[in-house]
Amino acid sequence: MSSIDLTQPDLFLNRELSMLSFNRRVFEMAADPSIPLLERLRFLCISSSNLDEFFEVRVAMNKHRHNMGVNSIGSDGSTTSETLVRIREAVDKLVLDQYALLEQDLLPSLHKEGIFILRRGEWTEQQSQWVRRFFRSNLLPVLTPIALDPAHPFPRLVNKILNFIVSLEGKDAFGREMQHAIVQAPRSLPRIIPMPEEIAGCPHGFVLLSSIIHAFVGELFPGMQLNACHQFRVTRNSELYLHEEETEDLKKAVAGELLERRYGEAVRLEVSVKCPRHLSDFLLHQFNLRESDLFRVNGLVNLYRLASISDAVDRQDLKFKPFVPGLPEGLRMEAEEEPGSLFDIIQKSDILLHHPYQSFAPVMDLLHQAATDANVLAIKQTLYRVVPDSPIVDALVRAARNGKEVVAVIELRARFNEEENIGLADRLHAAGVQVVYGVVGYKTHGKMMLIVRREGRRMNRYVHLGTGNYHSITTRYYTDFGMLTCNPDIGEDVHNVFQQLTGMGRAPRMKTMLQAPFTLHKGMIELIDREAELARNGQQGRIIAKMNGLEETEIIQALYRASQAGVKIDLLVRGICCLKPGIKGVSENIRVRSVLGRFLEHHRIYYFQNGGNDTLYCASADWMNRNLLRRVETCFPVLDAKLKARVLKEGLRLYLADNTGVWNLRADGHYVRPKSNAKPRSAQSELIELLGGN
């Protein structure tokens, strides 16, 4: 056994900085000239949106701890205050690069394609007249300037909304002298306004809402002298703080907290680089922020608003090539003939679906068939992120109205989907569905559906398990595996999980599945340790795992032990990774890769060679502390040999061969794109060709 202490801080990377490293990789996709231009713009916007959420959640949490005097130490040995300083340094560099890329690369490239953001100082007389008419007809009626004086204190400004600080001189109609006013951009209007081609002088001309307000803000203060007008935006803490044990009605409590989320504690102030110091200091004082919370940006204060340009411009040559999702062979042959019962097909063999390359429609079709099948007695489903008007919800409503026993376990606390989930709960409850909200203190994150069907004298269970959500949009953009099966052992395991979620009692022993928070964490460590023991006994140890995040310290330590024993480990980690690969005597047998592309990599796949008797699981859970110990998660084995081979190839080996969208993690926490003279290979492109329906 190695004498190296695997708990020492220098064996772990900082969680927050690792998250920022992921966002840096998203930004680098925007800088990649091999990607279509409008998709590059979209990646830039995603990196901006990701940064917003990072401040709303992670920075907010660290600042809250710091302000409360809790200077906790992370697994990497950094204190909260040290982490905040390092976050600031990394964010400064990222934001500077974001705006430089926009100004120096993306906008000039868009101009060559006839796509212009028309700047205020460059408007022609005809364009200025059009903008003035737009201001007076669309903006002026809904703008509400707020003068700041003793009768008009500084307003409560909504999280991430565009605002303007205005500096004034003179007296108003009541003889009042004032220095400052606030103008809020209407949330009801888009931030990017298309201008008619004959006015713009180009095929696609756009005007920023901020430019329009800036140009004519003086009309809101007649008779006053306008000295300055500068845009700003405040980012607030968006975590919901619920004392669940003391809450009698979780839905009402969540709804109440949502009202306050928009006005949470301020954590970041963004202003234009041209905003003078005395105005930024004034704003910092109003939001109770420090100079370290101020970010000056060279352009509009919310880059994410530019994403609407990609949607508005109909230039398919500047976007990813469209594709049609395919179907597995058995379902494809069935679709070409007379569509039959999915229950009959699943009885013959398990069905593996690989989204978005393969359609999510079979899952919805199964649910719709169950809703009208006279032999179906009950349907139970977990819903984490689902829009209230989705086909999934329509089927559950229809099933309830047809007299089925329908149970929906809705996770109200799915971050930033809480309001939609409350609407979803209301709709299902009104239709007669039994709606429950899971277990107090544990988010229900597992993705599973159970259908109970009477077949002769038997009651059979049909199950869908997946690595992703039942969301009609994310199924088109997230890579996930889903499995349809009537395996009786899996069916019984899923039944037992639902019993835990809706009732009470001790957790029963699972036959095939692993489940958080009871057996998943321990089970994964045992599987890792088994590979290590095999390697110590002279056999070849092999682990390949793919996930969104790796942070849980005991899992990392188990991987280090396996590496020390000689196990070859490949980790495909899209986002956070706190493990350090390539450390002599600790992790030289571990390789960590992050693959990004057209779709968001969302699989959770865990493969263990097990001396030739290989074991492969798909899961709803990452190797994160929250997933393994504080959530209800499912981890299911792929038992069919052909399907196991598919997951191994499509979900792991193709990604290990990718040399176009890959970054390798170094022991110092930096990610590098490997240079290769080999033929370019993209896992996502190959999967579109292999599985797509084109």
How far, in Å, are 112, 450, 501, 593, 636 from residue 464 at the CA level? 48, 7, 17, 30, 11
Point out the catalytic residue in the list 354, 368, 445, 603.
445
Question: Which strands sit side by side in the sheet containing 163-169, from one edge to the other?
Answer: 146-147, 180-184, 163-169, 225-236, 266-272, 294-297
Annotated active-site residue 64? The verdict is no
- Cα distance between residue 24 and residue 31, in whole Å: 11
Instruction: Give the strand pairing for 146-147 and 163-169.
Output: unpaired
**Which ranges of 474-578 would DSSP assign to H, the alpha helix?**
488-502, 520-536, 553-565
Instruction: Give the strand pairing for 376-383 and 447-455.
Output: antiparallel
- Strand-pairing partners, residue 608, are 543, 615
Residue 112: exposure state from Cβ atoms within 10 A (0-12, 13-18, ≥19): exposed
CB atoms closer than 10 angstroms to residue 504 = 7
CB atoms closer than 10 angstroms to residue 685 = 18
Helices (H) and strands (E) in the chain, counts: 23, 27
Measured in degrees and rounded to the nearest 5, phi and psi for residue 502 equal: -100, -20
In which residue are the tokens 């700041």 written?
A: 148
Which residue, 18, 25, 16, 27, is CA-closest to 55? 16
**8 A C-beta contact, residue 23 and residue 3:** no
**8 A C-beta contact, residue 363 and residue 482:** yes
Residue 624: exposure state from Cβ atoms within 10 A (0-12, 13-18, ≥19): buried
**Residues designated catalytic:** 445
